Amino acid sequence: MLPHKHTKEGVLNEKLALKKLLTYMKSVYKIPQKIKGLSDERKRKPIPLFNIVMPVLIFLMLQYESFHTIFSAPESMEKRPKNCIRGKIPKVDAVRDLLSRIDPKEIEEIHAQTIDVLKRNRVFREGTIGGYVAAGIDGVELFSSTKKSCPDCLSRKNGTGKTEYFHRSVVCMTVGKSPHVIFGQEMLKPRDGSEKDEGELTGAKRLIRRLKKRHGHFADVIVADALYLNAPFINTLKECGLETVIRLKDERRLLFQDAESMFQRDKGRKRSFRKGKKSIEVWDLSGFEIDLTWTIS
């Protein structure tokens, strides 16, 4: 039987790692200082904004699943990392009230400034995969409810016929070597009347253009699933000077059939290798003529 790894030495190392992280956040990225500059629209401010927002950020980074674990449950006193909460411990309602009043644009600007520092410090100078900075893009559903909603909620019918409200966004983040950095997130928007809510591809194009405008050449290659094999999206990447790797899973596509036919005639290069129990073949062929005016039906 293997010994339990959660030793006193392990706990000490965790505390040292957290202390190092907090020091780095303060000295390099100035995040605590920027949090203190957030607008506070509360009428009554019994607890300073910083004493709520900074612990929330830390606990999100530590992947705590519930604010109740930290701010309400009696045992939270034992679970709180030392020095993350000083003074009076805020109640969950106070945390929710403050977070609901913070302007998301201010948070987005802090995040964008953090990406600027990463670029300035050349964190990705060696790339993330094969010397290139590769970033994945995909849609993420944040939460859903049949009872609670807001003006920015998307909506759909669930299996029982009830209207379900949800938020969904498109996220772009690095893939490959650590650190895994989220470059940006774009919320999908609802539409009035009988029109369908905004789709993932629309949000993705808006996100790519925004990242290009704000950060310049933020990545070399964008990696995406089959949904993104779409001419307007690929053209957006080309306009922004980005290459792309997109999964092609529909064997009915002419592009797939064309490639398969050429590979069967031993065109291009082919390499086989094993990864665990999987046998993988890599085919390399250039010179395809692709019509970038089509879209997925």
In a domain, 167, yes or no: yes
> Does 188 share its domain with 93?
no
- Note whether residue 119 is domain-resident: no
Task: Determine, yes or no, domain membership for 1.
Answer: no
Q: Are residues 73 and 14 in the same domain?
A: yes
Same domain? 74 vs 138: no
pTM of this structure: 0.81
Supply the pLDDT for residue 217.
96
Residue 75 has pLDDT above 70, yes or no: no
CA distance 18 to 24: 10
pLDDT value at 51 more than 60: yes
Q: What CATH number does residue 162 fall under?
A: 3.30.420
- Is 258 found in the same domain as 190? no
Instruction: Please tell me whether residues 223 and 256 are part of one structural domain.
Output: no
| Nearest residue to 34 (alpha-carbon basis) of 123, 112, 120, 94 | 112
Segment 111-143, tens digit of pLDDT: 999 999 999 999 999 999 999 999 999 999 998
Q: With respect to residue 184, please indicate whether it lies within any of the assigned structural domains.
A: yes
Q: Is the model's pLDDT at 81 over the cut of 60?
A: no
Question: Both 227 and 256 in a single domain?
Answer: no
The structure tokens 């957006």 sit at 236
Q: How many domains does the chain have?
A: 3
Q: What is the mean pLDDT of residues 19-26?
A: 88
Same domain, 182 and 226: yes
Residue 82 pLDDT level (bands cut at 50, 70, 90): low
Answer yes or no: is 154 within a domain.
yes
β-pairing verdict for 182-187 and 163-174: antiparallel
Q: Do 166 and 216 reside in the same domain of the chain? A: yes
In-domain check, residue 111:
no
The per-residue pLDDT for range 215-230, each reduced to its tens digit, is 999 999 999 998 998 8
32 is a domain residue = yes
Range of the domain at 275: 251-297
Cα separation, 186 vs 111, whole angstroms: 13
62 lies in the same domain as 148: no
Pair (190, 262) in one structural domain:
no
Do 149 and 222 lie in a common domain? yes
Q: Is the dihedral of CA 92, 104, 234, 240 positive or negative?
A: negative
Do 131 and 59 have their domain in common?
no
Is residue 120, in this structure, part of any structural domain at all? no
